[in-house]
Structure 1
Amino acid sequence: MSAAKVVFNKVNKILEWFLIIIFSLLVLDVLFQVFSRYILGSSFTWTEEFARFSLIWMTILGAAYLNAKREHLSMDFLYQKLSDSNKIKASILIEILIFLFALIVMVIGGLNLVYTTLHLEQLSGTLRIPLGYIYAIMPFSGLLIMCFSVYHISNIYSNKTNQ
């Protein structure tokens, strides 16, 4: 097994466990909110904000995870009609477009958002966490998606040369 494959699998496993932890915390948070509201008769304001931030992180990291597994939503009607050589070209083009999207929107745009919110010292309403820390998941996930796209392109080329 190549070193790239080992690193790829290890990163995916870490990402998978991190997503499981975030989801578990989200479920516990919502259950606690329901319990406190209906059993204790008093709700805590921080639970709603924590749930929102957990959902943001889980969604954006989940997108990176699905990209790694190549299980993201796609419509492959036209792709299935292509010849094998054109499927390889289309796959490479798709990975390049995903790479560029992640670079421009998620990494560059995300870093700009993080910088702006940290510079303006914006804090979340209840938890008083700097919003830049919450938004930092965007460029991080973008970097992961870019790495996964490079990995997928290298796999396409190596499978092409092995045929």
Structure 2
Amino acid sequence: MKSLYLVDKIIGRLLRAIASFCLAALFVIVLANVVSRYFQIWPMAWFDEIVQALFAWMVFIGAAALWREKEHFCVDWLGAILGESRSGVLLHIVVNLLSTGFLALMTWKGLDLTLRSRAVTPILNLPVAFLYASIPIAGAVMTAYSLAELCRSERTLFKPLNATTHETKT
């Protein structure tokens, strides 16, 4: 169990590091482009290609990091009303099943798109598949975390309703 916790911790740090690097690189490149255009120092024809790649990776990997930590925005008024009742747990399972299905489909279609892509970017000749690869990678991570959450929810659903510990009095 400790090894799974360690792997989870490493994945979390890696996801955050990639998203943070992409954000910092975007900031530096956009700033350099603004300065370059203002002072007409040097042309940055490759600017759009790098920005697109960094933005794609930041968005999808950042989404996976947020998914792992359950930090995505959600409207949970019905879940809050139902609480930890069987209905609340069942609602949580249904929502999780829908999320897992969507994420699995996103992963599959993203992988298909990545593998079919033969195009290269016009200036740097980078494979466009590199931009698309963030979709199946992030989707696979989010699907795995959704499946883990689904397993936890199922255990809660099948737990006895009034599970209390019986203590013997002396």
TM-based fold match above 0.5: yes
1:34-73, Cα deviation, whole Å (9 max, x unpaired): 1111123443111122112211111111111111111112
Q: Cα RMSD over matched residues? A: 2.1
Runs (5+) with no aligned partner, structure 2: 164-170
Matches of 2:78 and 2:97, distance apart in 1:
18
Quote the residue 2:168 is aligned against: none
Q: 1:137 deviation in Å?
A: 0.9
Quote the residue 1:148 is aligned against: 145
The answer to whether the 8 Å contact 2:19/2:59 transfers is no
Report the residue type matching 1:145 in the other structure.
M
The answer to whether the 8 Å contact 2:89/2:156 transfers is no
Query: Which aligned pairs between 1:66-77 and structure 2 lie closer than 5 A?
Result: 66-77=66-77
Report how many aligned residue pairs link the two structures: 159
Quote the residue 2:90 is aligned against: 89
Report the residue type matching 2:63 in the other structure.
A
Quote the residue 1:30 is aligned against: 30
- Give the fraction of aligned pairs with identical amino acids, expressed as a percent: 23
Matches of 1:86 and 1:41, distance apart in 2:
64
Q: 1:83 deviation in Å?
A: 4.1
Quote the residue 1:43 is aligned against: 43
Q: Which has the higher helix share?
A: 1
Report the residue type matching 2:10 in the other structure.
K
Report the residue type matching 2:44 in the other structure.
F
Q: 1:101 deviation in Å?
A: 0.8
Matches of 2:90 and 2:43, distance apart in 1:
55
Q: 1:2 deviation in Å?
A: 4.0
Structure 1 residue aligned with 2:134, among 134, 137, 162? 137
Q: 1:144 deviation in Å?
A: 0.3
Runs (5+) with no aligned partner, structure 1: none
Query: Which aligned pairs between 1:44-123 and structure 2 lie closer than 5 A?
Result: 44-84=44-84, 85-104=86-105, 106-117=106-117, 121-123=118-120
Instruction: Using structure 1 for the length normalisation, give the TM-score.
Output: 0.86
Instruction: Using structure 2 for the length normalisation, give the TM-score.
Output: 0.83
Q: 1:9 deviation in Å?
A: 1.8
Q: 1:138 deviation in Å?
A: 0.7
Report the residue type matching 2:133 in the other structure.
A
The answer to whether the 8 Å contact 2:60/2:138 transfers is yes
Matches of 2:7 and 2:90, distance apart in 1:
26
